[in-house]
Structure 1
Amino acid sequence: MSAAAKELGVTPSAVSQQVRKLEESLGVTLLERIGRRVELTSWGVLFHKEIAKGFGQLLHSVDVLERARSQTGIVLSALSSVVNKWIGRKVFEWQVIYPDANVKIIGRDEEPKMGDGSCDFRITYGKRVDVHAHFTALYTDWIVPACSPRLLAKRALNSPADILTFPLLNIEWEQHYLRPPQWSEWAQLVGAVCNEKLSGLFFALSSSAIDAAVNGHGFVLAQVSMIEDELNSGTLVAPYDIRLQLPESYYLAWDRAALEKPYGKEFHKWIISIARKQAIISAP
């Protein structure tokens, strides 16, 4: 009785009281008290044998759940361009901090269904985040004209308006997103007129337009968050740092159970922290 009380964190008298209540409920004597000793009666032996099966199954269930939490790791879904040009690059910083944490990143533009076990966290954009129960804003990005330095090797820029004389790469998002700033709006910002004949190439993904600019095919209105590495390496340059803000923010959504996974809370906190840094970098 003392050992049971110690394991349960109660007094021996509390254990005795619960046993008596159980005996009254069942209508049988489970424990036979002989002096200071306590032994199971035949009814107690039979009852213990059966309930031990149930407790064994409970312990097994807890073990299965714990192994599932530990083995599946963290699953992050994000928009394709965000995976290619932002979080897919930043995640190496996470790996340095938490080398034992497993993270799987999935690039998809359709919103996943949280709670079915296929996704723990989701980075999305704009009002589409409303389909999720738990979410928070990350950052609102800005765009800036950028191109390969090779494009400027034979032609000098004398003013921001000169950018509009080069081939212009356009990004046209799906209709459920608010339209991002276009070249005509940037031209208006610098007091110029956009030549529509030079802007006939459109991309559905920001990452594809950025890659085309890296390859020297023209200027792109690129998100600052997505060209950080290219600017640092010199594969892209931004001759004039004149920026326009996107109309909506990026968001982080999550399944509540994800925070109970190993490193789940840390991953949630980490994404929010790098997003705050990105907000500062992206703003003019």
Structure 2
Amino acid sequence: MNPTLPPLRALQAFECFGRLGSVNAAARALGVTPGAISQQLRLLEEHVGVVLLVKDGRRATLTPAARAYHELISQGFGRLMLAQDYILAHKQSEELTISGFPTLMQKWLNPRLPEFQATAQDLAIRVISTHQEPDPHMLEQTFRLTYGEAARRYLHSRALFTDCCFPACSPEFLQRHPEALDPAVLARLPLIGIDWGGGYTTEPHWRDWFESQGLGELPPIRPVAVHSMSSLALEAAIAGQGAVLAQGSFAAEDIRAGRLVRLSEASLHMPDPYFVCWGPTTLDRPVARDFLNWLMRATKPLRSRTVQSS
């Protein structure tokens, strides 16, 4: 007996023949000719060195040994079908995973997600907030929302929008300090800073905004607090701790709800856009394509606004 495994086609023909009971039925199931099935069955007998079929009148049937062999082969093909069902279910899963910078996810994406979910009611969305960029090779079934140069890591990406920054504070802070509407005075009031980290050196800070107002020589700018996350800086401003140089996309909901007020129409553009990135197989699923199309529609007004103000 040959110790190596028989050819897969021969095993498949044998499994199908034993399950359906005839050469013709196996041929129809596998989309081949009856002659091809008979050939594969003979090949399998030669490989294992055991008689598997006997003639019963005009029909061929399995020998007792072949029936036991067929049961084991069927279990193997059953496991293969389960594996195929698993991978198809994984590929077609109605779960969409989106990762991104924490404040971008919390302040920009989350308020808009219900609009998308209303069009895909059975969809489960997994939202992962992290500053750490995932391995591009692992971005197969997910989207990544990121900023600037980080988008170059990924195989596919599209620019979403370029944000802008402007001073904002709580209504209570403005009531206590109505002079905050004057940029020259604002520079001497409590300010909240945002630390972008060492990898970001050209993003706007308070001094950049004040210099853009042509104020000349500025006093030392010492924020009362510096936060590593924009969302925390916005929360500190909402609590009345000071004014913040807010990103428009992050502060929009708080301004709309009256938790923040804009202190000036003057703004500074961020040096780079935000991006949506995805892997080589992400768009194989219709739900992923739907999400990307929705995302590009949702950010179209922001892209148009950037072009008009350039």
Question: Per the alignment, in what secondary structure is the counterpart of residue 303 of structure 2?
Answer: helix
| Cα deviations by residue, 1:31-61 (Å, 9 ceiling, x for unpaired) | 5566763433556535423321220211222
Map of 1:111 onto structure 2: 133
Per the alignment, residue 234 of structure 2 pairs with 210
Q: Does 1:271 align with 2:295?
A: yes
Which moves more between the two structures, 3-12 or 234-243? 3-12
Unpaired stretches in structure 1, ≥5 consecutive residues: none
Aligned to 2:171: 149
**Maintained 8 Å contact 1:81/1:205:** yes
1:176 corresponds in structure 2 to: 199
1:232 to 240, 250, 256: 256
Distance 1:115 1:151, change over 3 A: same
Query: Do the aligned residues in 2 keep the contact of 1:77 with 1:119 (CA within 8 Å)?
Result: no
* Residue 9, structure 1, aligned to residue 41, structure 2: no
The residue correspondences of 1:65-104 to structure 2 (distance < 5 A) are 65-66=87-88, 73-104=95-126
- Contact 1:114–1:120, Cα closer than 8 Å, also in 2: no
2:132 counterpart SS class: coil
Equivalent residue number for residue 148 of structure 2: 126
How far apart, in 2, do the equivalents of 1:206 and 1:223 lie? 8
| Cα deviation, residue 281, structure 1 | 4.8
Query: Normalization by structure 1: what TM-score?
Result: 0.79
CA contact (8 A) 1:167 1:218 kept: yes
Amino acid at match of 2:195: E
> RMSD of the TM alignment (CA)?
3.5
Q: How many residues of Structure 1 are paired with residues of Structure 2 in the alignment? A: 284
Residue type matched to 2:96 in 1?
A: I
- Residue deviations 1:164-216, cap 9 Å, x none? 45433222211012331122222232222474445423222111222222223
Equivalent-residue separation in structure 2 for 1:143 and 1:162 (angstroms): 19
Letter of the structure 2 residue corresponding to residue 62 of structure 1: Q
Partner in structure 2 of residue 243 of structure 1 = 267
In 2: Cα distance, 1:255 partner to 1:241 partner? 39
Q: How far did 1:113 drift?
A: 3.4
| Segment of structure 1 superposing worse, 197-206 or 151-160 | 151-160
Gap change, CA 1:136 and 1:12, over 3 Å in 2 = farther
What do the CA deviations read for 1:78-112 (whole angstroms, capped 9, x no partner)?
21211221122222222222221111222222223
Using the TM superposition, give the Cα deviation of residue 237 of structure 1 relative to its aligned residue in structure 2, in angstroms. Answer: 2.3
Partner of 1:252: 276
After TM superposition, the structure 1 stretch with the greater mean CA deviation from structure 2, 139-148 or 259-268, is 259-268
Task: Specify the alignment match of 1:48 in structure 2.
Answer: 70
Counterpart position of 2:209 = 186
Shift of 1:258: 4.5
Post-superposition shift, 1:226? 0.5
Greater displacement, 73-82 / 112-121: 112-121
Q: Equivalents in 2 of 1:45, 1:226: separation in Å?
A: 68
- Taking structure 1 as reference, are residues 266 and 20 closer, same or farther at Cα in structure 2, changes over 3 Å only? farther
**Larger C-alpha radius of gyration, 1 or 2?**
2
- Once residues 231 and 216 of structure 2 are traced to their aligned partners in structure 1, the CA distance between those partners, rounded to angstroms, is 26
Q: Quick check: 1:73–1:261 contact (8 Å CA) kept in 2?
A: no
